[in-house]
Amino acid sequence: LIKNLSKHCKHLFVFESEIELFILALSTIDLSEELKVYKVVLFDCVAKDLEIQIAMIFDQQSILEYLSLYEMFISSHYYLKYYETSILSLNELCIKSASVAIRNADITCFLPLLTHGQFLQNIPSMLESIPFQRILSQRKNKFDNTIVVSAGPSLTKQLPLLKAYQDKAVIFCADGALSMLEKEGIVPDYVTNLDFTDLAMKFFQNKENLKQSIIALECATHPNIVRSLNAENCMIVLRNKAL
């Protein structure tokens, strides 16, 4: 069935929870060429990192351009009868991953034009902010340990340990994790922001606690964030790749 379908489909994604069935199929039919060029892609649908696997495959250029034609095909009524919930969940996951991949590809060029415009608005603030090269020259190789803090469900459990070692390392903090550090009295050395929207302004509400930190903003950060901070300890970093 897979061999025949692959002749009529640009890409065929096969989901199976019983890996033994994949082994049995591959021992009786040669799909090496189809697998090599992503004509056929096999997924273990109970894998813990399934969403990551799908996202990586959907982000391939050869697959990305056909994602708008995605359709779930159920090979047997047996699967629909006994695995309907799992099938619907997988279909939802595929649609979500396809939407993210298409959005990130941004075929309308909306995002590049938006970020370029914001970069132009940020130039005056960039010229007045702390030069990135100065920070590099003054602080390079002066610290042995670095801790990078990002927002996530496991951060809460790590906060006591982070607080105990905050004076023994340089702490880089993503803006989304800033409020959690503030509640524990942890002062990061650097706070980073990469957002092209101004939704991240809510992370910088307590400006008094930011005076001891250097706020590193991306050159295309939303101008509202730049203006709301308007601080001497801001550093707007010009990246060396296209916006």
Question: Which mean pLDDT values do the consecutive 10-residue runs of the chain (243 residues) have?
Answer: 73 88 86 86 90 90 84 83 89 91 72 85 90 88 89 87 92 93 92 89 85 90 89 77 50
Residues 15 and 91 in one domain: yes
Report DSSP state, residue 218. E
- Both structure tokens of 153: 């469900």
Q: Do 41 and 8 share a structural domain? A: yes
> What pLDDT is stored for residue 106 in this prediction?
64
Q: Report the number of distinct structural domains present in the chain.
A: 2
CA 219 remoteness from chain centre:
19
What is the predicted pLDDT for the residue at 108?
62
CB 22 within 8 A of CB 45: no
In a domain, 76, yes or no: yes
Does the residue 242 lie in any domain?
no
- Residue 160: what pLDDT? 92
pLDDT given at position 77: 84
Residue ending a domain, choose from 105, 129, 163? 105
**What pLDDT was estimated at residue 88?**
92
Q: Is residue 175 part of a domain?
A: yes
Question: Of 141, 135, 121, 138, which Cα lies nearest the Cα of 224?
Answer: 121
Backbone phi and psi for residue 128, each to the nearest 5 degrees, phi listed first: -95, -10
Indicate whether 75 and 120 sit together in one domain: no
For 98, residues 6+ apart whose C-beta sits below 8 A from its C-beta are 58, 67, 68, 70
Return the pLDDT at 241: 53
Boundary of a domain, candidates 105, 130, 150:
105
CB 220 within 8 A of CB 116: yes
Per-residue pLDDT at 242? 47
Q: Domain range for residue 66?
A: 2-105
Bridge partner list, 173: 149, 191
- The 3-state DSSP class for residue 217 equals strand
